[in-house]
Amino acid sequence: MGATTELDGGERRSGWQPRELIQTPPVFVWPPRPLGFLKWLFGSDGYLWPWNALFAALALLAWRFATPPLPMMKHAAIGWIALIFARNLVLITLYASAWHWRLYAQRAQGIAYKYNSRWPTPENSTFLLGSQLRDNLFWTLFSAVPIWTTYEVLTFWLQANGYVPTVSWELHPAYCTLLMLSIPLLRDIHFYAVHRLIHWPPLYRTVHYLHHKNVNPGPWSGMAMHPVEHILYFSGVVLHWIIPSHPLHVLFHLYHLALSPAVGHSGFHRVLLNRTGGVSLTTGSYRHYLHHKYFEVNYGGDGICPIDKWCGTFHDGSEEAQQKMKQRLNARRDSRASV
């Protein structure tokens, strides 16, 4: 979401790369840049538009038309739980399939703006069921959706019974709006913490390795995780068990968690919406693509909070960042060898 700047549109042998380096948003900067912050907040390819606005709109539609009234969810009845599960299953299937169909099945724009010029091979014995796509579908539909739904159902049940604090939009519109705007930032911080945890060697070898099989990721790769990783990943919604929240906040948080990885793992920097390329959307996923390429950099999500910079794990796509990464890994290797 606005993590990279101007593009050169050129293709390179290894794939497309942004002309300019990855930039962190003008949020945690000194001296403050109020004009830059406002441009990033409200501008095209910024904080609000298009992706956060889309996820918020989907959450609002789901709350209004596909979620039982909160009082009905006081009791754990099969009917409303099945409705939420079915809604989540259909939503992620349609959303990820739309990305996959246009970019990988139709190949509507070829390798224009594709980070890796190669296409994932249809059959690959590295993956479950012998295929990257089938592997990704399996973990998304049979692990991600049930665990996501469990967190959602449990949170709504807690809110309906008054076991966790809730808040009304009508009575506290300013607070509710501020919390809504803060959710992507809070999610970014939680994602960094969980991501560093699962890169701890014992957890990486047993859990996170599964996601990193996708060295050439596609839209369905985003939610292709081990069930333990899904439990940790979706645990960010527990925030709403602690602070006063409305069910709409819960839905927005969960939709951001479940849907944004399709964008971040699309493998393309820009999606062309017409044949001439005059209408397009920036995915801003180069940051995370570099993580899948090099493993030990860019643990954060959208980079709203520059924790990678603060912790020395930021890779902006430059040769200098590449050398720093190699030096850091060599130093770690030497340290282990001396023990």
pTM of the model: 0.92
- Count CB-CB contacts under 10 A for residue 27: 17
Low-confidence residues of the chain: pLDDT under 70? 1-13, 339
- The amino acid sitting at 139 is W
Identify whether the C-beta of residue 205 lies closer than 8 Å to the C-beta of residue 221: no
The whole-number pLDDT of residue 7 equals: 32
Residue 229 covered by a domain: yes
d(CA 93, CA 63): 19
Q: Is 179 helix (H, G, I), strand (E, B) or coil?
A: helix
Residue 175 covered by a domain: yes
Residue 248 covered by a domain: yes
Q: Report the share of the chain in percent with pLDDT over 70.
A: 96
What is the DSSP pairing of strand 280-282 with strand 270-272? antiparallel
Q: How many domains does the chain have?
A: 1
Question: Residue 33, by phi and psi: left (phi above 0), alpha (psi -120 to 50) or beta?
Answer: beta
d(CA 262, CA 278): 23
Residues with Cβ < 8 Å from 235, sequence gap 6 or more?
Answer: 151, 190, 194
Residue 270 covered by a domain: yes
Residues with Cβ < 8 Å from 104, sequence gap 6 or more?
Answer: 119, 120, 218, 219
- What is the residue-wise DSSP string for 102-142? IIIIS-TTTTTTBSSSSPPPS--TTSGGG-HHHHHHHHIII
Sign of the Cα torsion 305, 103, 282, 320 reads: positive
The whole-number pLDDT of residue 297 equals: 93
The whole-number pLDDT of residue 6 equals: 31
Residue 120 covered by a domain: yes
Question: Could you give phi then psi for residue 217, rounded to 5 degrees?
Answer: -70, 160
Cα angle value 210/318/199 (rounded, 5°) = 25
Residue 138 burial (CB < 10 Å; 0-12/13-18/19+)?
A: middle
Residue ranges making up the domain that contains 208: 66-295
Sign of the Cα torsion 225, 226, 227, 232 reads: negative
Residue 39 covered by a domain: no
Residue 217 covered by a domain: yes
Residue 26 covered by a domain: no
The whole-number pLDDT of residue 278 equals: 76
In angstroms, the first-to-last Cα distance of the chain is 42
Instruction: Give CA separation, 171 vs 177, 247, 251, in Å.
Output: 12, 15, 20
Q: What b/e sequence results for 282-311 when a residue is b if at least 16 CB atoms lie within 10 Å of its CB, and e otherwise? A: bbbbbbbbbbbbebebbbbbbbbbbbbeee
